[in-house]
Amino acid sequence: MDGNPQKYIWQHDNWPRFQWHSGELLTLLGKVRHAQGGLSATAKALGFELSHQAQAEILVEEAVKTSAIEGEALNRDSVRSSVARRLGLPQAGAAPAERHVDGLVEILLDATRNHHEPLTAQRLKGWQAALFPTGYSGIRKIRVGDWRDGPIVVVSGPEGRQKVHFEAPPGEVVAEEMKRFLQWWKKSLGREEGVLRAGVAHLWFVTVHPFEDGNGRIARAITDMALAQDEQQPLRLYSFSSQIMEERDDYYAVLEQTQKGTLDITAWLTWFLGCLLRSMDRSEAMIHKVLTKARFWQRHSQTTLNDQQKKIVNRLLDAGEGEFHGGLTTRKYVAIAKTSRSTAIREINDLVEKQVLVRGSQSKGRSVWYDLNWEELSG
């Protein structure tokens, strides 16, 4: 019976008694622990102020990418505004944050900053309600702030030829399933290997799929919370969701394979640990961006810039060297700064005179574009 591919893991008699082969995970687990140690040392070396800025950068990335996994494109400026306001960082020229963006940022911060607080049904329902402040997911009215009471079937493909990827437990058992999950969460803290506990929690939650919508984002917030509990610190210098987005197809494939398999979840935990390790390896680029940004503003601490110019400069710094597509043009300056063309030209020229911007080497006539003076920052 266990070999029946149409039987989901939650339908097995011994659900949710997950099993795995520890020996197959030891090498990867050791690498994750080593990477965690390295990031902890980096956080201490950065000092409070830069660590605070790094946390903001990671939090923006986490919010944008955890939504992108679900197919939702958030306005990065809106996310930055929400993050800056909650972390007490400067917001010059920042766009006002949208309500659902504020809700997501609050969830991510609550999961890590308040990782020591109990995870309860009320807390999880509050998280889900914060994701959908209007009570709608897109144009669809959904059940908000409570467990679902109907079925959940994940399908793809055109009508009539749809492929069923997963079917969650029926709505009438969700309350009991979540009670069992939350009891395990409480009892397992400090008893089970912390990183593996995060992987089990992620799989367990998305398998129960307790809400009508928002399950993936909340599962990843729970994962962040478990990792914060394991590391005993709210500061995160890596974005797990960002790496999942990079490996989105593999993520869904290994989830489907695991949920249609037995309760041996070794393959899932192997992928989870590998993805976590790769997210830590990628954090170096984010930290470099934070350091570059800090170096710029330190160098230009006496340079007089208005809010519009600061907004443009921060946009270029956030993109990174050579990553602002097509360079900064007058038209883009107008669109970003919400100003007139004549003002944009004047302010660009001012930034060039102050050696903040340099003209692109290949730009001519109407194709003139600018970038930050990256050479000065590397010097």
- DSSP for 212-280, please give it: SS-HHHHHHHHHHHHHHHHHT-S---S-HHHHHHHTHHHHHHHHHHHHTS-SB-HHHHHHHHHHHHHHH
- Tokens found for residue 182: 């939350």
Peptide bond into 133 cis (omega under 30): no
Sequence spans of domains, the chain: 9-290, 302-378
pLDDT at position 1 is 37
Alpha carbon distance 15, 112 (integer Å): 29
pLDDT at position 91 is 60
Mark the ranges of the chain whose per-residue pLDDT is less than 50: 1-4, 92-93
Report pLDDT digits (tens) over 132-168. 999 999 899 999 999 999 999 988 877 777 788 999 9
What fold is seen in the domain 9-290? Fic-like fold (1.10.3290)
Alpha carbon distance 240, 61 (integer Å): 10
pLDDT at position 146 is 97
CATH architecture of 302-378: Orthogonal Bundle (1.10)
- Calculate ∠ Cα 136-246-63, nearest 5°: 40
The pTM assigned to this predicted structure is 0.83
Compute CA 27 distance to the chain's CA centroid, rounded to the nearest angstrom.
Answer: 26
Judge contact between 215 and 209, C-beta under 8 A.
yes
pLDDT at position 122 is 98
Please give the backbone phi and psi of residue 272, each rounded to the nearest 5 degrees, phi first.
-60, -50
- Give all strands (DSSP E) within the chain, no chain letters: 136-137, 140-141, 153-156, 163-167, 357-359, 370-372
Which 8-state DSSP code applies to residue 321? T
Report pLDDT digits (tens) over 16-45. 999 999 999 999 999 999 999 988 888 777
The answer to whether 9-290 and 302-378 have equal CATH topology is no
